[in-house]
Amino acid sequence: MSTVYFGTIVHSLSQTELEIVEAAVGVDSEGTIVFVEHNTAADEAAKKHGWAEGEYSVVAPVDQATSFFFPGFVDTHIHASQYPNVGLFGKTTLLDWLNTYTFPLESSFKDPAVAKSIYSRVIARTLGHGTSTAAYYATVHVEGTSILADLALEAGQRAFIGRCCMDANSPDYYCDESLEAAQDATRAVIAHVRKIDPAFETVSPILTPRFAISCSRELMAWLGQVAAEEHLPVQTHISENKLEIETTLKLHPYADSYAGVYDTFGLLTNRTILAHAVHLSDDERDLVAKRGCGVAHCPASNSALTSGETRVKWLLDAGVKVGLGTDVSGGFTPSILHTARQALLVSRHLAMKGEETHKLSIDEVLYLSTLGGAEVCGLDSKVGNFVVGKKWDAQLVALDNKNSPVDIFDWERGKHEDLVAKWLFNGDDRNLTKFWINGRLVAGTEF
Ligand code: GUN
Ligand code: ZN
């Protein structure tokens, strides 16, 4: 059945343009947007496009003045396996945090029952926060990682599924046993994802060298080759922490930079997602831009692990694609809305240090959370905003419902610009009343 969604839509047209307009959005039975009519009643818009009465339904929020449709969030970097550890980082920084908190937890995913129970919770939680697309890291385990793909497919969430590759400098209890073992396991997960979603309708494999420290040169070279031959996306970490950078350069003395290590092995492509990018040099930034890679900006994680402050505007200005990543559980929240808030505040911290040009606006962080993320994931022709031909991945945000953490005062009614700001700073999953991915209702109830 086709549907006309009628109400205020809030979405990014570009990095700096957030459009807020009343619209009737026509979505066909496949979940594709077929028309967007501004300031037009639902039935009138349907008629204009030849939709006969009775052949479509109309979905409109009860309280038009304090509700709006917003695109599903894109989380460009999240470790699904680390969800039980959110908020746990103590006094550690990246490398000791990995050894103390992260590797022991990830190794428990050897047991498929653990994988199933935790991954189900992660998917339910991220859907509850409006994440329609997630680039997931799983663990080294084939069965557990395949379970993550099954669960995402079943729940209807768009997901990139990455089996962590780590055959070097990792603890004995949590490591690929050999290059061949890493290759076989990677192949097995790719085959599984291709089997369950052959057209990559919602779930796709992604090559996942954990980071340069934990991968042999041979493994990185093989992954680069597979990425090129099979046109597969890649995700990894880059330049997150100073000790990590130092260690990387010691392990790879032939390279002139961290980005240079990945480039040597063909891992910098226009389908590569680089998480963090906190301490890139000018040359590295230019290389990343030239190769067409995207950056997953993870401000909650960078603050929690005291990794540093990514200069997002400096990346965007050089033409680097940027989206947001929760980086659970370096990051303490599975919410992209909360992450967008953190991105805005971190940019203000940079501005307070005298670097005014780094300040991000509300419109810009909302762009990063949706269209920017879609660009990073190579999905911007499919999702990210409400444009004809794209899929209906949409949150219905209601600010004045019973459980809303946002207090709405009468003077604000109808001023959607203010409502959006209030939602960004005070809103949370209680404001998500309905959520569609590919036109399918995945959270909330039918009207
Ligand atoms: N670098 C290598 N592995 C990880 C990880 O799990 N989290 C973060 N934040 N950085 C990493
Ligand atoms: Zn990470």
Query: Which ligand sits closest to the CA of 300?
Result: 1
Confidence of residue 143 (pLDDT cuts 50, 70, 90): very high
- Asked if 313 contacts 347 with a C-beta cutoff of 8 angstroms, the reply is yes
Rounded to the nearest whole angstrom, what is the distance from the C-alpha of residue 35 to the centroid of ligand 2? 38
Is a pLDDT exceeding 90 seen at residue 169?
yes
Task: Write the pLDDT tens digit of every residue in 194-223.
Answer: 999 999 999 999 999 999 999 999 999 999
Q: Which ligand 1 atom lies nearest to the CA of residue 327? A: 9
Whether the pLDDT of residue 402 is over 80: the answer is: yes
- Give residue-wise pLDDT tens across range 324-350: 999 999 999 999 999 999 999 999 999
Ligand 1 neighbourhood includes 369 CB (under 6 angstroms): no
Of all atoms in ligand 1, which is nearest to the CA of residue 79? Answer: 6
For residues 189 and 373, give the distance between their C-alpha atoms in angstroms, rounded to a whole number: 24
How far is Cα 222 from Cα 391, in angstroms, rounded to an integer? Answer: 34
- Residue 446 is predicted with a pLDDT of 58
Residue from 77, 166, 210 whose mutation best tests the ligand 1 pocket (most atoms within 8 A of CB) = 210
Question: Which phi and psi angles does 444 have, rounded to 5°?
Answer: 85, 180
Longest CA–CA span in the chain (Å) reads 69
At 445, the pLDDT band (50, 70, 90 cuts) reads low
pLDDT for the residue numbered 410: 83
| % of the chain at pLDDT higher than 90 | 95
* Atom of ligand 1 at shortest range from CA of 214: 2
Q: 327: left (phi > 0), else alpha (psi -120 to 50), else beta? A: left
Average pLDDT, the chain: 97
Ligand 1 probe mutation, 211, 261, 274, 305, most atoms within 8 A of CB = 211
At position 65, the amino acid (one-letter code) is A
pLDDT at 355: 82
In tens, the pLDDT along 40-95 reads: 999 999 999 999 999 999 999 989 999 999 999 999 999 999 999 999 999 999 99
Q: Of 242, 221, 239, 325, nearest to 277 (Cα)?
A: 239
pLDDT score of 225 more than 70: yes
Answer positive or negative: Cα dihedral of 99, 102, 105, 109: negative
Ligand 1 mean position to 120 CA, how many Å?
Answer: 22
Are the beta carbons of 181 and 168 closer than 8 angstroms?
Answer: no
327 CA from centroid of ligand 2 (Å):
5
Q: Which ligand is nearest to the CA of 273?
A: 2
Please tell me the distance from the alpha carbon of residue 126 to that of residue 144, in angstroms, as a whole number: 19
Q: What does residue 42 show for φ and ψ, rounded to 5 degrees?
A: -60, -50
Q: How far is the CA of 259 from the centre of ligand 1 (A)?
A: 16
Residue 391's identity, in one-letter code, is K
Cα–Cα distance, 237 to 254 (Å, whole number): 20
DSSP state for residue 359 in the 8-state scheme:
P
* Strand ranges inside 298-348, DSSP E: 321-324
The rounded distance, in Å, linking the Cα atoms of 317 and 202 is: 31
**Euclidean distance between CA atoms 82 and 30, whole angstroms:** 34
Residue 163 in this model has a pLDDT that exceeds 90: yes
Angstrom distance (rounded) from CA 165 to CA 159 = 18
382 residue type, one letter: K
Hey, CA dihedral for 186, 131, 430, 332, is it positive or negative?
positive
Alpha-carbon distance of 290 to 319, in angstroms, equals 9
Q: Which of 124, 134, 195, 201 is nearest to 162 (CA)?
A: 134
Share above pLDDT 70 across residues of the chain, in percent, rounded to a whole number: 99
Q: Give 71 Cα–ligand 2 centroid separation in angstroms.
A: 24
b/e burial code for range 64-88 (CB count within 10 A of at least 16 → b):
ebbbbbbbbbbbbbbbbbbbbbbeb
**Model confidence band, residue 413 (pLDDT cutoffs 50, 70, 90):** confident
Nearest CA to ligand 1 atom 7: 330
C-alpha 369/C-alpha 73 separation (Å) is 6
- State in Å: Cα 237 to ligand 1 middle: 7
- Ligand 1: residue of 75, 79, 303 to mutate (most ligand atoms within 8 A of CB) is 79
Q: What is the pLDDT of residue 351?
A: 95
Q: Are 291 and 272 contacting, i.e. CB atoms less than 8 angstroms apart?
A: yes
Grade residue 414 by pLDDT with cuts at 50, 70 and 90: confident
434 close to ligand 1 (CB < 6 Angstrom): no
For tokens 């979505």, name the residue. 27
pLDDT grade for 447, boundaries at 50, 70 and 90: low
- Provide the pLDDT confidence category of residue 412 given band limits of 50, 70 and 90: confident
* CA distance to 208, 215, 245, 316, per residue, from 238 (Å): 12, 13, 8, 17
Pocket flag, ligand 1, residue 210 (CB < 6 Å): yes
The string over 95-109, giving b where at least 16 C-beta atoms fall within 10 Å of a residue's C-beta and e elsewhere, is eebbeebbbebbbbb
What would the two tokens of residue 343 be?
Answer: 């991105």
The answer to whether the CB of 74 falls within 8 A of the CB of 132 is: yes
- The pLDDT, as a whole number, for residue 243 is 98
Could you tell me the distance, in angstroms and rounded to a whole number, from the CA of residue 47 to the centre of ligand 2?
48
Look at residue 238 and give its three-state secondary structure: strand
301 lines ligand 1 (CB under 6 A): yes
Q: Give the ligand at the shortest distance from the Cα of 164.
A: 1
pTM of the model: 0.98
Instruction: Classify the C-alpha dihedral 76-242-182-142 as positive or negative.
Output: negative
- Determine whether the shortest distance from the Cβ of 240 to ligand 1 is under 6 A: yes
**Residue to substitute in 77, 83, 98 for testing ligand 1 pocket (most ligand atoms within 8 angstroms of CB):** 98
CA of 225 to the centre of ligand 1 (A): 23
Q: Which domains does the chain have, with CATH numbers?
A: 2-71+385-443 (2.30.40.10), 73-376 (3.20.20.140)
Give the pLDDT confidence score for residue 127 in this predicted structure: 98
Ligand 1 within 6 A of CB of 211 = yes
Kindly give the distance from the C-alpha atom of residue 306 to the centroid of ligand 2, in angstroms, as a whole number.
Answer: 14
Q: Which pair of tokens denotes residue 77?
A: 């970097």
